[in-house]
Amino acid sequence: MNTTLLFRDDAYLQSTEAVVTAITDDGHLILDQSVFYPTGGGQPGDRGQLQLANGESIEITNTQWLDASMQQIAHIPAEGSKLPQHGDKVQLLLDWETRFKRMRIHTALHLLSVILPYPVTGGSIGDGEGRLDFDIPEAVLDKEALTLKLQAMVDSGAAVSTQWITDAQLDAEPELVKTLSVQPPRGSGKIRLVKIEGLDLQPCGGTHVANSAEIAQVRIKKIEKKGKQNRRVRIALDS
Q: Taking the complex as a whole, how short is the minimal distance between the CB of residue 42 and Zn ion, in angstroms?
A: 9
Give the whole-angstrom CA distance, residue 223 versus residue 232.
Answer: 6
Q: Taking the complex as a whole, how short is the minimal distance between the CB of residue 202 and Zn ion, in angstroms?
A: 7
Alpha carbons within 13 A on the beta-carbon side of 201: 13
Task: Pick one of 31, 193, 204, 223: the residue that binds Zn ion (CB under 5 A).
Answer: 204
The mark string for 65-84 relative to Zn ion (x by CB under 5 A, - otherwise) is --------------------
Residue 6, amino acid: L
Question: CB of 134 within 8 A of CB of 146?
Answer: no
Residue 60, amino acid: I
Give the whole-angstrom CA distance, residue 175 versus residue 157.
Answer: 26
- Smaller CB separation from Zn ion, 119 or 227: 119
Q: To the nearest 10°, the Cα dihedral for 198, 201, 205, 211?
A: -10
Q: Taking the complex as a whole, how short is the minimal distance between the CB of residue 221 and Zn ion, in angstroms?
A: 20
- Smaller CB separation from Zn ion, 29 or 194: 194
- Smaller CB separation from Zn ion, 18 or 132: 132
Give the whole-angstrom CA distance, residue 177 versus residue 184.
Answer: 9
Helices then strands, each counted (H, E), the chain: 5, 15
Stretch that binds Zn ion, among 65-73, 85-93, 181-189, 197-205 (CB under 5 A): 197-205
Q: Does 123 bind Zn ion (CB under 5 A)?
A: no
Stretch that binds Zn ion, among 27-35, 44-52, 119-127, 199-207 (CB under 5 A): 199-207
Q: Does 206 bind Zn ion (CB under 5 A)?
A: yes
Binding residues for Zn ion, rule: CB under 5 A, are 204, 206
